[in-house]
Amino acid sequence: MADIVEYFNWTYVNTVASEGEYGEMGIDAFRQEARHRNICIAVSEKIPINADANRLDEVTAHQWVSTAVRAGPSMRLVRLKPQGPGPDMGPGT
């Protein structure tokens, strides 16, 4: 993920991770790598592993609104979904 952020020259990002070993370890690794690359994590949230698509949309919308004013038109939203078994996050995710 840090490679993607660096490729697009993003320096200010938000993160959302699922609670539990997979999500928390992944975001911790990203946080360390981001620090080495001078990438600022503005907002970082965790959601329950059993969260439905509506909850994920709520968190995403909250992060979008809380950051959009500061970031302006350069802001982009990227949602990555892990492969394999896990909660159904709905169509298009």
Q: How far, in Å, CA of 39 to CA of 1, rounded?
A: 11
CATH number of 2-74: 3.40.50.2300
Neighbouring CB atoms inside 10 A of 36's CB total 8
Q: How far, in Å, CA of 59 to CA of 17, rounded?
A: 10
2 versus 70: the higher-pLDDT residue is 2
55 versus 67: the higher-pLDDT residue is 55
Q: How far, in Å, CA of 69 to CA of 37, rounded?
A: 24
76-88: average pLDDT = 56
Task: Quick: pLDDT tens for 3-61.
Answer: 999 998 888 888 888 888 888 898 899 999 999 999 988 888 888 888 887 887 787 77
**Residue spans per domain, the chain:** 2-74
Q: pLDDT at position 92, please?
A: 45
CB-based contacts of 44, cutoff 8 Å, min separation 6: 14, 15, 16, 17, 27, 31
